[in-house]
Structures are given as C-alpha cells and as structure tokens.
Amino acid sequence: MKYGYKASAEQFGTRELLDYALLAERLGLDIVAVSDHFQPWRHHGGHAPLVFSWLGALAQASERITMGTSVLTPILRYHPSVVAQGFGTIDQLAPGRVFLGVGTGEAMNEVPATGTAWPGGKERRARLAEAVTLIRKLWTEDRVTFEGDYYRTDKASVYERPDVPLPIYVAAGGPLAGKLAGRIGDGVIATSGKPPELYENVLGQVAESAKAAGRDPGKFPHQIEIKVSYDTDLQAAKEACTWWAALGLSAEQKQGVDDPLELERLADEDPLIATKRFIVTDDADEVVERVAPYVDLGFSELVFHGPGNDQRRFLELFTRDVLPKLRDRWS
C-alpha cells in the first residue's frame, strides 16, 4: 500500500507547490501526483504551471518520492511525441520514480490553448489510445515513422528516453474509460466521492479488458485520488472546500465549459457544494473508516487531496494524525 499527496497545480504557483511536494516527501508520503492544467478552475487566484518544468524541478530536488501526472491529456495541446520526450527527460532526473498518468481531458484545458473544437468522448478515447501507442513506440524504437488516424511522425527519435518504458496510468471515470484503461494502460486512476457501484463497474471493465489483452489484472496498479478535508477544527475543514466548489457541479453543468470565469461563476452560486465530494472531518479514525471501502475495492495507491489554502497545515496534521492509522490498518 502506498500513500500520496495530490499537488494541485490549479490552486498554487510553481515555487509554492514545489515546496509542498517536498514537504510531503519529508513527512513520509510515497507519491506526488500533480494535476496538469492550461487553465485553472478559478480565474481569480488560480494557477497553471507547465507540468513538464514543474516535475523536472521536483525530480531534481527530491530524493525518493514517486511522481507523475494525475492526469495529463496527450491528445490536443500536447502532441504525443512531445509527451514522450518530456517524460523521458524527467525520468533522466529521477530514474525509476516517474509515471505518466493520462486521460481524455477537459475542454477548459484544450479548447482555449488550441482553438480546436472539443471532440466527443468516442473520438477522445480513440485519440488517447493512439497517443499511448505512439508514446510507447518512441520510448522503445528509433526513427519512428507513424501514420495514425490522428498523429503522425517522420523518422522521429527521442534521445532522452527511459531505460525502461515508464508505467502509463489511464484515468477512468466510467465503464468505457475503464475498458480503455485495461486495454492500453499499465495502471488505472480514479477519483473518490462517487457511488460504489460505479467503481465496481469501472474496475470490472479494467480487469476484463486487461485480461483480454493478456495481462494479469492482479498486477494492475489501482490509484485513487481521495478528497479529504481533515483539520482539528471542523469548521475550518468545511471552509477549506470553498476553493474547490467547481468539483461539486454536475457533469451536465460543467460539460463543454472552457472559461474559468464561467466555472467560477457557477461554483460560487453554492460555495460549500464541494463538501459532498470531500471527506470533511476532524476525526482521524473517520478518515480511515471512509477510506476503507476504496481499499476493499482494490485500490492500493491512495493519493490524498486536501482542498485548503494552508497546505502546510493540512500535510502536517494529516501525516501526524491520519497517516500512522492508515499504515497500521494497511501496512
């Protein structure tokens, strides 16, 4: 069992976020998973550092922590060849400590940066599958000429490539994405706060698809981002969720919205709406009990997202009060 920290690039600037990630390492966490945004959820007070540069800095400054994206979208604003080169470079700085987490993306990050119409889910999944194929080729072959439906290369080589291809984790928020993750991924990434039957369906699709692809589902890493607002002051734990009110919006409310100002306006109609997505508590034992169902489902890499602006306080309280109980329960 591994425990990690979600580095929220939408909420904190480059240097501050790096300091929090290094603090997470010093406090004993195993993983840093960073979001990758071109635009944040909020226009006012939001941030969006370039993930390649940020991970390079973390790779150089850290000593043991595993790091990767949760998640990056290699289908529009990033060509897969650039992703292969970027992560190959990061691995040179932290060999054996890097994973690439990918997903089909959000309009807010892809449309403004490219001026491209937002594709439907079927096309985005097809693009992601092709992108992953090309990234792996560039990590293992020289002078790659690739003719796909969406991407092409002409005698392309990545010169700073990993000695061993990096594990690629695929985000799966629904059954179709779960099926894709099992087919093309080396692991799966999910987020907390959804109905248990959805996870059972998604992970069932992951296992079935992985098995069909000739892989052992039992060796397929399951990572989940668990949203926890833990504080010894319960009111502070509740108020910490307000920055992330957009997470409480329904998929229908967010669908196709690519403007942070509009997302901010929708979210601010109910600032505490995000509390329904977070474990909000002042009781460390409650955190453990509410994490347990995810472990029972098979998740073995638990990455914790604290929503507040005082990340130092969150990390220090969480690792002091909650992390020892988690390790005692699942060593």
Domain boundaries, the chain: 2-230+282-329
Q: Rounded CA gap, 218 and 22, in Å?
A: 31
Q: Rounded CA gap, 298 and 293, in Å?
A: 9
Q: Rounded CA gap, 182 and 191, in Å?
A: 17
- Among the options 10, 16, 25, 37, which is catalytic? 37
What's the number of CA atoms in the CB half-sphere (13 Å) around residue 232? 7
Q: Catalytic annotation on 106?
A: yes
| pLDDT on residue 164 | 96
What's the number of CA atoms in the CB half-sphere (13 Å) around residue 84? 25
- Among the options 25, 106, 110, 225, which is catalytic? 106
Tens digit of pLDDT at every position of the chain (331 positions): 999 999 999 999 999 999 999 999 999 999 999 999 999 999 999 999 999 999 999 999 999 999 999 999 999 999 999 999 999 999 999 999 999 999 999 999 999 999 999 999 999 999 999 999 999 999 999 999 999 999 999 999 999 999 999 999 999 999 999 999 999 999 999 999 999 999 999 999 999 999 999 988 888 999 999 999 999 999 999 999 999 998 888 877 877 788 999 999 998 988 888 898 999 999 999 999 999 999 999 999 999 999 999 999 999 999 999 999 999 999 7
Q: Catalytic annotation on 37?
A: yes
Residue with tokens 């491209």: 116
Q: Rounded CA gap, 128 and 83, in Å?
A: 12
Q: Rounded CA gap, 137 and 81, in Å?
A: 10
Q: Which CATH superfamily does the domain covering 2-230+282-329 fall into?
A: Luciferase-like domain (3.20.20.30)
| pLDDT on residue 57 | 98
